[in-house]
């Protein structure tokens, strides 16, 4: 920690061009509005100046090369995401230690063969595989590629037998959802409008469903469905051997609607099955029946069953009532319903018969997190992946009849990492309003815990996302090796305890998320895990907003802040990129009541002159297509201008990188090493390397 180096951290001056406007009766002056235009010559020059300043501090840190070397080892640990079986083939994403990016593989007759390796598609490794969907006969794969972290996918179709793409190519298929026809002759898919065909900015919205037949030109694709809500997300399910198409319309992370049509009719008409329900609804189909997972009248979810031919709400029949723990996912595998529950933020798998009678639990390798499960064309095979704080993401196959769990594919821990020396505990603490909040605490089993230990506190708390035990990236294991403690609270706004927990940290309740996070830091100090000079906070995206709120509300509580791809100007956030889809979660300053909530916590609007803020490193990607980098740029400039200069305020802006998806390992090593070097420097622990 370098508080003794008074006024050493005088960052490059950023020109102020104040813009004053009245929003909902409040006069707001923004000195850095000009930094919003990332394409301008001036902003590009500012970016280069800031990156040069940041490099001057980070690239000269003692031990940086050692950190990179160890991270290169730690990031060589592989992972395997849940396989999908189609006909006789398994498809899965995996990365081994030697690979720079994850690869799509196919397994046939016990042999694994790479299908799509993004590392072979560009010299710098910045072409990413965004999504993929194998055909029903297992002979084709539709997949999306994008460049530079943009996630602006183009759809291609790979013929597995030849290893070559078909002639089909469809642009504007970002986040594409796709349902193959039963005979694999084509598919229904989602597509965004072409830029220029709609007003500027609207190309991020107005998602539509089309039918594409193989070898047809895109112009021949038939429009099938479009919702009246331009911000809605769409998910597709073909049912009853392709006769019915179900479209799940996501209006927010709290409300989805189901639409249904008999598409064998000459002019199919979609019926809304969830009129007035105002709930989350997820649907599965098997043998002519729909199984609907919903939180309608059940914050922890329940399951209904109905015929696919008569799916109106009045025909829904409850088969699995709401239980004590949230039911997060449901799949139909043969004659079984597979339910994935969260028991105090730890995954459990329960099998039911098709009428909802519980039959057995699947014994998992440890306390951890289940990804999936995925459907399999084998009626007795459950495919999923599992991870914990000590074990990498491993794919499993569970044979239901034999009650036998087998490893489908695994990668070993990196050299020098002993999973038996990892101690994990879950504690509960009270938030500001008295609400009990759970938190995972992880450290080496042989660590002597006391108030001098460095603690890395992270969180998310939004969008119904559950933060559960996971192996994580290389920095977590590196932190534990440095004698650090890792703390992960399950903040309100997440989905760990059902929809009420989510609602407790969204819209007008968003301050609860920040209170939960701050209370976690206070608890760790009060219980002698650390002290405020050894407490690091970190978060990305919505978690970046969390960090921004924490340092502006309690700058005294934390020594170091790592704020990644953040939202920080909550008064203008909804005007950029895809951010309008987040209005149901945060609100909008265009609404007078919602403005009051958001202005009360918006980090960019609560930076104070002369305040001693934690040493702060803000990171972003120049091509981020989700959270506009303007937030990072403006906040960095404002903190540099107003903070007391006794601690560094740095921004690291990565070129040809986005929100983090598809980032090659080589870039991850550089970024994580520099972040760790910054943290150790500001904790006074550089000699620990």
Q: Catalytic positions, please?
A: 541, 659
Per residue in 344-364, is it b (16+ CB within 10 Å) or e — as a string?
ebbbbbbbbebebeeeeebeb
How far is it, in rounded angstroms, from Cα 603 to Cα 78? 37
The 422-430 sheet, strands edge to edge: 422-430, 436-444, 485-489, 455-458, 535-540, 560-564, 615-621, 649-654
Q: In Å, how far from its chain's centre is CA 171?
A: 24
Cβ-count burial of 2 within 10 angstroms (0-12 exposed, 13-18 middle, 19+ buried)? middle
Which tokens in the block code for residue 117? 């390796």
Q: What are phi and psi of 513, to 5 degrees?
A: -60, -45
Helix (H) or strand (E) segment spanning residue 140: strand 140-147
Cβ within 8 Å of residue 487, ≥6 positions away: 439, 440, 441, 442, 455, 456, 457, 458, 520, 524, 529
Tell me if residue 59 falls in helix, strand or coil: coil
How far is it, in rounded angstroms, from Cα 43 to Cα 636? 13
Cβ within 8 Å of residue 635, ≥6 positions away: 548, 563, 566, 568, 569, 603, 604, 607, 618
How far is it, in rounded angstroms, from Cα 611 to Cα 632? 19
Q: C-alpha distances in angstroms, 537 versus 385, 554, 635, 658?
A: 29, 12, 17, 22
How far is it, in rounded angstroms, from Cα 80 to Cα 91? 11
Helix (H) or strand (E) segment spanning residue 550: helix 542-553
Helix 41-58 / helix 630-642 crossing angle, nearest 10 deg: 60
In order, the DSSP letters of 245-300 are EEEEEESSSS-EEEEEEETTSSS---EES-TT--S-EEEEEETTEEEEEE-TT-TT
How far is it, in rounded angstroms, from Cα 622 to Cα 620? 7
User: Contacts from 258-262 at CB under 8 Å and sequence distance 24+?
Assistant: 258/283, 258/292, 258/311, 259/225, 259/227, 260/311, 261/225
Q: What are phi and psi of 514, to 5 degrees?
A: -70, -40
Q: C-alpha distances in angstroms, 468 versus 154, 387, 496, 545, 592?
A: 32, 10, 8, 20, 36
Residue count (the chain)? 689
CB atoms within 10 A of CB 18: 9
Residue 554 DSSP class: -
């Amino acid at each position: 920690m370098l508080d003794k180096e008074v006024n050493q951290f005088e960052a490059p001056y950023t020109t102020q061009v104040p813009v004053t406007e009245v929003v909902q009766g409040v006069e707001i002056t923004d000195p850095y509005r000009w930094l919003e235009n990332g394409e301008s010559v001036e902003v590009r020059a500012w970016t280069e100046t800031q990156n040069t300043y940041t490099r001057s501090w980070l690239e000269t840190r003692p031990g940086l090369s050692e950190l990179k070397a160890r991270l290169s080892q730690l990031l060589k640990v592989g992972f395997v995401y849940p396989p999908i079986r189609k006909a006789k083939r398994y498809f899965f994403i995996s990365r081994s230690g030697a690979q720079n990016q994850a690869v799509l593989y196919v397994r046939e007759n016990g042999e694994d063969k790479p299908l799509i390796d993004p590392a072979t598609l560009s010299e710098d490794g910045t072409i990413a595989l965004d999504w993929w969907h194998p055909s029903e006969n297992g002979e084709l794969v539709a997949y999306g590629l994008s460049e530079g972290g943009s996630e602006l996918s183009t759809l291609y179709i790979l013929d597995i037998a030849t290893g070559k793409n078909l002639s089909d190519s469809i642009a504007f298929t970002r986040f594409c959802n796709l349902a193959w026809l039963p005979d694999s002759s084509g598919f229904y898919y989602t597509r965004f409008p072409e830029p220029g065909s709609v007003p500027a900015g609207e190309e991020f919205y107005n998602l539509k469903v089309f039918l594409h037949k193989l070898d047809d030109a895109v112009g021949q694709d038939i429009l099938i469905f479009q919702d009246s809500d331009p911000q809605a997300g769409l998910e597709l399910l073909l049912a009853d051997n392709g006769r019915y198409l179900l479209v799940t319309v996501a209006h927010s992370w709290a409300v989805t609607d189901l639409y249904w049509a008999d598409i064998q009719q000459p002019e199919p008409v979609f019926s809304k099955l969830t009129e007035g329900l105002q709930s989350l609804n997820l649907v599965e189909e098997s043998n002519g029946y729909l199984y609907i997972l919903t939180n309608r009248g059940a914050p922890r979810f329940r399951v209904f069953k109905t015929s696919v031919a008569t799916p109106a709400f009045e025909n829904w029949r409850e088969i699995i009532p709401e239980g004590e723990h949230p039911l997060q996912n449901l799949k139909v595998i043969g004659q079984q319903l597979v339910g994935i529950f969260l028991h105090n933020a730890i995954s459990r798998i329960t099998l039911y018969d098709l009428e909802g009678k519980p039959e057995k639990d699947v014994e998992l390798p440890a306390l951890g997190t289940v990804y999936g499960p995925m459907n399999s064309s084998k009626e007795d095979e459950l495919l999923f992946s599992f991870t914990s704080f000590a074990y990498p993401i491993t794919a499993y196959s569970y044979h239901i009849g034999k009650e036998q769990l087998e490893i489908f594919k695994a990668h070993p821990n990196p050299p020098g990492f002993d999973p038996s020396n990892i101690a994990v505990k879950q504690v509960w603490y009270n938030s500001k309003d008295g609400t009990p909040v759970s938190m995972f605490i992880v450290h080496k089993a042989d660590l002597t815990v006391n108030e001098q230990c460095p603690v890395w506190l992270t969180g998310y708390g939004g969008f119904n996302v559950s933060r559960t035990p996971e192996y994580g990236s290389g920095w977590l294991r590196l932190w534990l090796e440095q004698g650090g403690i890792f703390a992960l609270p399950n903040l309100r706004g997440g989905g760990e305890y059902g929809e009420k927990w989510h609602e407790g940290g969204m819209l007008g309740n968003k301050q609860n998320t920040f209170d939960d996070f701050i209370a976690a830091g206070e608890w760790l100090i009060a219980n002698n895990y650390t002290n405020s000079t050894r407490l690091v906070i970190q978060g990305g995206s919505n978690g970046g907003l969390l960090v921004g709120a924490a340092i502006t509300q309690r700058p005294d509580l934390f020594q170091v802040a790592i704020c990644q791809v953040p939202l920080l100007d909550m008064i203008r956030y909804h005007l950029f990129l895809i951010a309008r889809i987040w209005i149901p979660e945060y609100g909008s300053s265009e609404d007078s009541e919602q403005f009051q909530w958001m202005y009360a916590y918006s980090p960019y609007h609560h930076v104070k002159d002369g305040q001693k803020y934690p040493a702060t490193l803000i990171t972003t990607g120049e091509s981020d297509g989700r959270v506009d980098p303007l937030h990072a740029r403006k906040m960095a400039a404002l903190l540099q201008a107003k903070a007391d200069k006794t601690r560094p305020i740095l921004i690291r802006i990565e070129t040809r990188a986005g929100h983090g998806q598809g980032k090659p390992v080589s870039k991850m090593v550089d970024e994580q090493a520099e972040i760790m070097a910054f943290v150790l420097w500001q904790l006074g622990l550089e000699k620990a390397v």
